[in-house]
Structure 1
Amino acid sequence: MPKKSLASKRANPLSPEWLESEVDSGAWRRGLNYFREGRAEVVEVIEGDNGHMVLLGSCRGSRGFTYEQEITILPSPSGPTLMGYCDCPVGYDCKHVVAVMLEWQRKMSGVSVDGHDAVDDWLGTLVGSNAETGASGQESLLYLLAPSQIDSMVLETQFVVARAGTDGSWNQGRHTVPTTLNNPQLRPAYLSAEDDEILSLIRASQSSQVFNSGYRLTGAVGFMALKRMIETGRCFLSSNRDQPLRYGPARNLRAQWQRVDDAFRFDLGVVEGGQLLDLDPPGYLDVDQGLVGPLDGDQKLERATLRALARAPAIPADRAPAVARTMALNRPDVPTPVAVERREIREQPVPVLKVDFDPRVPQMADARPSFAYDDQRVDPGGEAVLVRDDEAGLVRIHRDVGAEEAALKQLQTHGLVPLHGRHDQYIQPGWKQDIALRDAWFEWIDKQKPLLEQAGWQVELVEQQGVTLSQASGIHGEVEESTNDWFSLRFDLEFDGWVMPLLPLVSELLQHYRPGELPETLYLNAGQGHFVAVPSARIEPILATIIELFDRIEGDTLALPRPDVGRLNDLEGIPIQGATSLRKLAARLQDFSGLDAVKLPTTFKGELRDYQQHGVNWLQFLRGHGFGGILADDMGLGKTIQTLAHLAVEKRAGRMQHPCLIVAPTSLMSNWQREAARFTPRLDVLVLQGPERFERFDRIDQANLVLTTYPLLPRDRKVLLQKNWHYLILDEAQQIKNPKAQAAQVVRHLKAEHRLCLTGTPMENHLSELWAQFDFLMPGFLGDHQEFRRHYRTPIEQHGDGEKLERLNRRTAPFLLRRTKDLVAAELPPKTELLRSVALGEKQAMLYESVRLTMEKKVRQSIANRGLARSHIIVLEALLKLRQVCCDPRLLPAGTRGASQAGSAKFELLFDLLPELIDEGRRVLLFSQFTTMLGLIEKEVNKRSIDYTKLTGQTRKRDQAIERFRSGEVNLFLISLKAGGVGLNLTEADTVIHYDPWWNPAVEHQATDRAHRIGQDKPVFVYKLVAEGTVEERILALQERKQRLADQVYGKGKSADQPPIDEATVEALLAAV
Structure 2
Amino acid sequence: MGLGKTVSTLTALDILDLVEDAFPALVVAPLRVARSTWPDEASKWDHLQHLKVKAVTGTAIERKAALNTKAHIYTINFENLPWLVEALKDAWPFKTVVVDESTKLKGFRLRQGTLRAKALATVAHVKVDRFIELTGTPSPNGLVDLWGQAWFLDKGVRLGRTFNAFTDRWFQQLRVGSDPHAVQLQPMPHAQGEIQDRLRDICLTVDGRDYFDLREPVVNTIRVQLPPAARELYRDMEKTMFMEIEGEEIEAFGAAAKTMKCLQIANGAAYVGEDAVEWKVIHDEKIAALEEIVEEAAGMPVLVAYHFKSDLARLQRAFPKGRQLDADPGTIRDWNAGRIPLLFAHPASAGHGLNLQDGGNILAFFSVNWNLEEHQQIIERVGPTRQLQAGHDRPVFIHYILADDTVDDLILDRLQTKRQVQDILLEAMKARGLK
TM (norm. structure 1) is 0.21
Query: Highest relative contact order (Cα 8 Å, sep 6+), 1 or 2?
Result: 2
- Higher-Rg member (1/2): 1
Q: Greater share of strand residues, 1 or 2? A: 1
TM-score of the two chains, using structure 2 as the length reference: 0.49
